[in-house]
Structure 1
Amino acid sequence: MSLKVGLIGGGSWGTTVASLVSRNCPTTIWARDSHTVEDINKNHRNEKYLAGIKLNEALKASDSLKETLKDADVVIMGVPTQCSRNVLEEAKPYIRPWIPIISLSKGLEQGTKMRLTQIIEETMPGHPVGVLTGPNLAKEIMQGQAAAAVLAMVDASIAHALQKVFRTGLFRIYTNDDVIGCELAGALKNVIAIAVGMGDGMGAGDNTRSAVITRGLAELTRLGVAMGGQPMTFAGLAGMGDLIATCTSPLSRNRYVGVQLGMGRNIKDIISEMSMVAEGVKTSSVVFELAQDLGIEMPIAAEVYKVVNNQTSAIDAFKGLLKTRSGSEAEPG
């Protein structure tokens, strides 16, 4: 394809997407770390985030936003939610008008409670925006495992055109016009994954895990629909699909945080030793606030918020959940 792609962010998922996309289009990835840039350009690897994995040799890297973005026909945002606004402001002078901007982020901004596509629209009005999301564990995809994702954009014609940018033989891309639902599902499932991890860390069994995943899906669906998402979205790749992968895989960062919390460790110690960002930690406070604002009962998310903010322990959180009233399955609780 003749389209040129500029991807902002040199973490594990950003690098994975850049490597995939570079099979279809000339692609440059931006990273602040000059060592990461050198590693990608010279060795076709990103040992910091994807140790032992070979990247597509056509992928180029740069520590210059101008070089990465000045000729880009498509821009992909692959940086954590909480620093995206600042990076966008830095990138803004180098992005040409009307260029589509696609988010890979799965979080909600603290303070504003905004989704990343909303931040993009506020920072850079006039650009078509979208989100690529789904059950996508970076290392599995780079190891050649089959996976599927959903590209959500309001403009279906642009989404269909961009399918060819992201699609490879084993990486299937579906489209969806429910940007709100897809984006919220990706952010909210990280909070539920922490809850599942806490149970695993305390030695809970498969029955407990299944119950937390299922009731967690009900919670994130209630909040997502109240915020404008479509109910069916939460039963698809962005919702149930991503929730299952994030809650059960040992590669999941958010589940890992939960496991460590379940073992009695302090959140600050857990985060300090991680090289990658677990979006669910900071998103949990935003979800808690949104649920209160909208009057949505989310007992699992509320307990995660309390544990992450050192208001209670993981074991007390699970005791609290067991004390909540259980009525009809269609009801909260």
Structure 2
Amino acid sequence: MANLNVTVLGGGSWGTTVASLVARNAPITLWARNPTTVAEINTHHTNEVFLPGAILPEKLFATTDLCKAVRGADVIVMGIPSQNFRQVLLEVKKNIRAWVPVISLTKGLELDTRMRMTEIITEVLPGHPVGVLTGPNLAQEIIAGQAAASVIAMEDEIIVQELQTVFKSGLFRTYTNTDVIGCELGGVLKNIIAIAVGMGDGQGAGDNTRAGLITRGLAEVTRLGVAMGGRAETFAGLAGMGDMIATCTSPQSRNRHVGIQLGMGRNMEEIVSEMVMVAEGVKSAPAVLALAEQYKVDTPIFRDVYRVLSGDTSATRTFRGLLRVEAGAESEPG
């Protein structure tokens, strides 16, 4: 694996963290659009905007030259926000060599098409092996060397086992899975549940309320994920329940932060304007709700979160409504 040249596209917190992990196993190049970020990584081995206080490996080389970054790569890792993902991938297409695997780190959907990132990769780069690296992975903890577990999912069992060794590093344990759809959707859908949980936290809800929302939210995620082709057991694993717990409970969670601020009565424009990083749940909510309608899956939590995000109602009113829903059998929606 040391002979594989890996390129990570995206200089945000998770892209930089993954590049730092890979640096221990293979030659690594990080592409970022911002020249200041690139200069800081190469000169000071830091990325203070996205990973304050972290020291990056000296082996990690950054560049603003996308052509150069892609041309010599044996593996491409996409750490690009969902709404810019296709645009960057179209530039990658001009320089990528045949059969190079492309792995997505992005936990979102393309708004206009409702497509998952691996679907976009397959459409733009037919013939390239595609996969996703996902799980309960908070960048600040991992870059600090704390133990964490992740899943790399690809349909090809041989390639996924080869790439497993590229990403596993120190206390960062990487498992394999062939359920790309389930693993990818777990990462996408839990963001919206985290907003719902944050809305409760922002209004002073207790641990029992949080546990109830996470559990009912996981049931909602699983119903929609299975309807879309994922495997039920995937949502009980790291890419489902694991990611859900981390995103719904951590102070580092961007989506939970959005929910907390909404619960405190602030509006979306104000919240987003103060954030450096993207909260993918905000971007993906309309696409998720449209997919639930398309697949005829009842998703009351998704629906209520979307109504708050779109300004149709307040977080306070919605959260009270969630708590007053008539309870039926646990296997039913609601």
Query: TM-score surpassing 0.5?
Result: yes
Equivalence for 1:235: 236
Give the whole-Å Cα distance in 2 for the aligned partners of 1:138 and 1:10: 12
Give the whole-Å Cα distance in 1 for the aligned partners of 2:214 and 2:260: 15
User: How far apart are residue 323 of structure 1 and its match?
Assistant: 3.2
- 1:94 aligned counterpart, secondary structure: coil
Equivalence for 1:66: 67
* CA offset digits 1:58-110 (Å, max 9, x no partner): 00000000111111000000011111000101121111110000000001110
Which residue identity does 2:173 align to in structure 1? R
Give me the CA root mean square deviation: 0.6
Q: What is the 5 A alignment of 1:79-98? A: 79-98=80-99
User: How far apart are residue 322 of structure 1 and its match?
Assistant: 2.6
Equivalence for 1:186: 187
Asked if 1:104 corresponds to 2:105, the answer is yes
Q: What is the 5 A alignment of 1:6-45? A: 6-45=7-46
Identity among equivalent positions (%) equals 62
User: How far apart are residue 325 of structure 1 and its match?
Assistant: 2.3
Q: What is the 5 A alignment of 1:138-157? A: 138-157=139-158
User: How far apart are residue 294 of structure 1 and its match?
Assistant: 1.5
Which residue identity does 1:224 align to in structure 2? G
Q: What is the 5 A alignment of 1:1-333? A: 1-333=2-334
Give the whole-Å Cα distance in 1 for the aligned partners of 2:323 and 2:62: 50
Unpaired segments ≥5 residues, structure 2: none
TM-score, length of structure 2 as denominator length: 0.99
Which residue identity does 2:285 align to in structure 1? S
Give the whole-Å Cα distance in 2 for the aligned partners of 1:88 and 1:285: 23
Give the whole-Å Cα distance in 2 for the aligned partners of 1:182 and 1:188: 10
Give the whole-Å Cα distance in 2 for the aligned partners of 1:163 and 1:294: 33
Deviates more, 1:315-324 or 1:11-20: 315-324
Task: Report how many aligned residue pairs link the two structures.
Answer: 333
- 1:7 aligned counterpart, secondary structure: strand
Runs of 4+ displaced beyond 2 Å: 322-325
Deviates more, 1:311-320 or 1:194-203: 311-320
- 2:311 aligned counterpart, secondary structure: coil
Give the whole-Å Cα distance in 1 for the aligned partners of 2:324 and 2:48: 46
User: How far apart are residue 57 of structure 1 and its match?
Assistant: 0.9
Give the whole-Å Cα distance in 2 for the aligned partners of 1:303 and 1:36: 38
User: How far apart are residue 227 of structure 1 and its match?
Assistant: 0.2
